[in-house]
Amino acid sequence: MAKIKTPKIPKVMEEIECFPEIEESFISHCVIKDCSILDIESERIVFDQVIFKNVTFENVSFPNVELIDVIFDTCNLSNVDFSNGIIHRAEFQNSKMLGTNLAETTMRDVFFNRCQLNLGLFGYAKLKQVKFSESVLRNVDFYECQFEHVDFLTCDLEEANFSHTPLKGIDLSSCTFEQLTVSKEDLVGCEVSPDQAIGFARLFGLKIKD
C-alpha cells in the first residue's frame, strides 16, 4: 500500500472568504473558505500551503498549475482544468470533481478521499504514491498513464478506461465494477477478487466450468 506524505500545512494561517487578485500568480499560506471562484483563467499559477474549504470553482482554467502542500476540503472542482500541472503533497477530501481535467499532470503523494470523480480526465498523467479511497470514478479516463504505488480502496470504477496503462501491482480487489476498458497485456500482475477474475476471464473469451 502506498505511503502518502501529507501536506505540510502551518498551524496558523490567514483565513479569507474571497479569492485574492491574481497578480504574481503565486498564492500561499492561507485558508480560502466559503466562497465561489468564477471565470478565471491563469496559466502556471502556484498554490503553496493553501487550504480550500467549501469553495466552488466555476469556469476555472489553471493549466500548468502547481499545487504544493494543498488541501481541498468539501469543494466543487467540476470541469476545472488542471492539465499539465504538478501536484505534490495534496489532498482532495469530500469533493465533487466531475469532469475535472488532470490530463498530463505529474502527481506525487496525493490522496483522493470520498470524492466524485466521474468523467475525470487523467490521460498521460504520471501518478506516484497516489491513493483513491471510497471514491466514485465512473467513466474516468486513465489512458496511457504511468502508475507507481497507486492504490484504489473501495472505489466505484464502472466503465473506467485503463487503455495502455499497465496495472502490474495495482490492487482492484476492493473496488466495484462490471465493465472496464483494459487489455489483457495491461492486466498482467493486477490483483483482483475471485468474482472479478471470473468477469475478466469471460471478457477475454474463456469459458468457466463449475
Q: Side chain identity at 6, as an amino acid letter?
A: T
Q: Which three cell numbers stand for residue 84?
A: 499539465
Q: Please indicate, yes or no, if residue 1 is contained in any of the structural domains.
A: no
Residue with cell string 491563469: 42
Q: Please indicate, yes or no, if residue 150 is contained in any of the structural domains.
A: yes
pTM above 0.95, yes or no: no
The answer to whether 154 touches 174, Cβ cutoff 8 Å, is yes
Q: Please indicate, yes or no, if residue 80 is contained in any of the structural domains.
A: yes
Q: Please indicate, yes or no, if residue 109 is contained in any of the structural domains.
A: yes
Q: Please indicate, yes or no, if residue 68 is contained in any of the structural domains.
A: yes
Q: Please indicate, yes or no, if residue 3 is contained in any of the structural domains.
A: no
What's the number of domains the chain is made of?
1
Q: In terms of residue numbers, what domain contains 96?
A: 14-203
Q: Please indicate, yes or no, if residue 210 is contained in any of the structural domains.
A: no
The arrangement of strands across the sheet holding 126-133 comes to: 14-16, 26-41, 46-61, 66-73, 86-93, 106-113, 126-133, 146-153
Q: Please indicate, yes or no, if residue 2 is contained in any of the structural domains.
A: no
Question: Mind listing the pLDDT tens digit of every residue in the chain (210 residues)?
Answer: 668 999 999 999 988 877 766 656 889 999 999 999 999 999 989 999 999 999 999 999 999 999 999 999 999 999 999 999 999 999 999 999 999 999 999 999 999 999 999 999 999 999 999 999 999 999 999 999 999 999 999 999 999 999 999 999 999 999 999 889 998 899 889 999 988 887 777 666 555 566
Q: What is the CATH number of the domain that holds 157?
A: 2.160.20.80
